[in-house]
Structure formats: structure tokens, C-alpha cells
Structure 1
């Protein structure tokens, strides 16, 4: 089963220095039916104005994945760790109790656009505090996984995140690890096919809940950039 969540259905915010779209309940946006999906707690697309910052704050024990779409950001924690990430890179932060984290748009002239995901972390597992990977110019890249396979970022959870970048008319098939996944269109239009021949079309900014499908085929109706988040747990 595939259930679409369109961009127009998502929560929104415009604070001047920050424009945001929230897939799940976040900040002032609250929907008791959308508190997350499996271990996926947050999926936001946010635009920070030139020179804007998120001031230091603490988090629950989650893995925070920042996929930089435009611009360059710097991330710091209260233990003195810091890292920069730019468009075409993804950064994973393994949050720690008692530590606060900040984010800064390094440009004084250009906005910073990124996707941010929070994933519940297994309580007994620890990974490197900050990991970064560059996106390859390939149709599909394993961006994050439980074991860091194929050079991917290593998560503290049984989740596989795929970055998809394909031309119009191209298609990809994915074998899923379990009964749940989430598909997010970043740019472009795609339709998803499953065994029952069901099709759902997603356009820019739309997402879709995927349930009880062993595999799924994605067909790009336009040039497509998307994320497929495989969430068996």
C-alpha cells in the first residue's frame, strides 16, 4: 500500500530568517496522527536566510541527517567539535545526552537549503559523533545504513537511506528490508509501482508512506531527485 502525503498537506513555517516544511509534527506544528513513522521522527525541508543560525540546543538520542541542497553550513557542538558541509554533501550527527548543537549558514549572501531527518538511535549503540559523505553522480547511492556499507554513513538504527538521481523515463527497483518505507521527492515527479500494480504519482516536495511491500519500482516522469528511506523496524 502506498499513501501519498503531498507538500501542501505538510506543516509550514515562515519566520523570515527561516522557511520550513514539516512532514511530521515539529515545533508549532502538531498533528497527533503524524508523530513520526517507525524510527523516522522528523523529515523537514528548511531554508535558512543568509547568515542565519539555529542557536545551540539539545536533542533526544537521535541520528540527525542533514542533506545539503544549496549553500554551505557549519555545525558545532558544546564539546568543541565542528564540521562544515556544502551542497552535494550529507552530514550525520550522532547526538549525545548533555551536549548542545548549533547550525550556521556560512554565507552572508545566499540562502542555505537542506533536508533534515531525525532517526531514533538504539540506546546501547554509539557511533562516530560526526560523519560526512559526498554524493556520487550515480542513479542511486546508499547514503546511510546500519553498518556503513558501500561507504555510507553509519546509523545507530536498522534503516537504509537511498539517494536517487535519475533522468526522465528511467526506473529503479528496490528490495525492501521490511514492511515500511518512506519515499520523498526533492525535485521532480515520480510514480511508484508495487506488486499489485498500484501507482501513486509524487511531485516536487511530496512524500509517500509505503507499507507491506517487498519491493517497489520507481519511474521518473521528469528528471528526479528523491530519497527512499527503508524503515523495517
Structure 2
């Protein structure tokens, strides 16, 4: 097993006034040649967006884009004709494929919006763009590692054009368990959303992350109530 720790304070950051961003990988004006991607995981942005502010219409192509609001609501509009709110407790995915335009704004005039936006390189290029949004209430279970994303349309959670699986865990103190890699050769990038967790023997705190490769399974133990995000992804682009 190979592990690499990514402490929260070592991430790139930017404060645009209306947007406070933390970048796990090189993005916008933050460039770190040692942190460009983790396998097919290209972007993991931890954003705080001011009330009624956001990103005007802009293009994407050939990228799987996953958005997970942590608090607040996201107002979304795209060239496929979708206009929606994505609330805390939901997950959204767009397969940009051969090209889309979209805008995303904080859907509240009063409260900050906190979210993760995650980009993965797809395993098929120039597909027809697609959109999907679900409530996590349909899949979440306390003290389990519940699946929120997979490559299969008939599986739990949303699906994408990539051999990737995402799981979340809302875990009590002193919880113990293990995670099994879903596909040989995949690696895991695990982010602690909140709490204190020991992963593969390494102690992690809020917004710390760990990259794990060359193993089939690893252990997870919580020192406090914790919430985690597990991203199981191919290591070869």
C-alpha cells in the first residue's frame, strides 16, 4: 500500500471577495506541478460562494462534473434546458461530452453556499451531454459507507462515464470499518469533510485528504463524529 497525505492547509487558495476557494489540485491561478491530478480526478474545489453571487455562463467539454452542496442551495441553468436548484443533501452530475454551457449561482440572497465541485476525466469522449440530480436521502445510511456515484445507470446514486465509485460516510465516534477498492488498479482519494479519522493508520482532521494506491482494501476508524468522502478512481488517464 502506498499513501500520501494532503493537509488542508497545504491546498491552494483564492479569495475573490464573493468566492473563497480551496484547490486540492492546480486550478485557475493556482498551479502546483506536484498536484495536477490524482489519476482521473482532475479537480476538487472546496468553495464558499457569497449570497446571490456565482459563475456566469461558461463552457465545458469532455469532463465529468460532480457538484455536492454541503450547505445552502445552488441555482443551476444550462444549454440542455435544465433550470434547477441543487440543495444541501443532493448531488448533481453533468457529463459535458461534446460541449455544454452552464451558469451556477448561490440560490440564496441571505446565506453562504458551501460546496465541493469535482471534475473527472471521462472514459468516453464527445458523448451527448447529460444531466442528473438526486437526493442523497434515497441512498444515505448512518454509520455505513453509502454509494453516491458509480459507472452504472442502474446502480445506487448518480452515474458517470468513468470506472469510478464515490461513497460518503456519516459516522459516529469510535466507528470502525474498511473499504474495498472497486476495480483492480484503482486508487482512492479520501477527503475528511469534518471530524477526526484514522485512515490506513494515518490520522486526518477536517478537510485533510489521503491518496491510497497499490492495495485492495484499507481501514477507517473515527476519533470523533465524522463525515467523509471516498473517491475510488482509475489511476491511468
Counterparts of 1:156 and 1:10, CA distance in 2: 27
Tell me, yes or no, if the aligned pair for 2:65 and 2:94 is still in contact at 8 Å.
yes
Tell me, yes or no, if the aligned pair for 1:178 and 1:231 is still in contact at 8 Å.
no
Deviations 1:101-125 (A, max 9, x none): 1101110000000011101112258
Counterparts of 1:21 and 1:162, CA distance in 2: 21
Deviation at 1:133, TM superposition (A): 1.8
Which structure 1 residue ranges, 4+ long, deviate > 3 Å from structure 2? 124-128
Counterparts of 1:16 and 1:186, CA distance in 2: 23
Deviation at 1:93, TM superposition (A): 1.1
Give 3-state SS (helix, strand or coil) of 1:97's partner.
Answer: coil
Relative to the length of structure 1, the TM-score reads 0.92
Alignment root-mean-square deviation, CA: 1.6
Do structure 1's residue 217 and structure 2's residue 219 form an aligned pair?
yes
Aligned 1:56-205 pairs, distance under 5 A: 56-124=57-125, 126=127, 129-135=130-136, 136-138=140-142, 139-176=144-181, 177-179=183-185, 180-193=187-200, 199-205=201-207
> Paired residue for 2:19?
18
Tell me, yes or no, if the aligned pair for 2:66 and 2:93 is still in contact at 8 Å.
yes
Runs of at least 5 residues in structure 1 that lack an aligned partner in the other structure? 194-198
Give 3-state SS (helix, strand or coil) of 1:156's partner.
Answer: coil
Counterparts of 1:62 and 1:98, CA distance in 2: 9
Deviation at 1:100, TM superposition (A): 1.1
Q: Structure 1's 166 and 128: CA in aligned 2 closer, same or farther, altered over 3 A?
A: farther
> Paired residue for 1:228?
230
> Paired residue for 2:30?
29
Deviation at 1:219, TM superposition (A): 0.6
> Paired residue for 1:196?
none
Tell me, yes or no, if the aligned pair for 1:178 and 1:212 is still in contact at 8 Å.
no
Tell me, yes or no, if the aligned pair for 1:125 and 1:156 is still in contact at 8 Å.
no
Count of residues paired in the alignment: 228
Q: Structure 1's 182 and 227: CA in aligned 2 closer, same or farther, altered over 3 A?
A: same
Q: Structure 1's 74 and 189: CA in aligned 2 closer, same or farther, altered over 3 A?
A: same
Runs of at least 5 residues in structure 2 that lack an aligned partner in the other structure? none
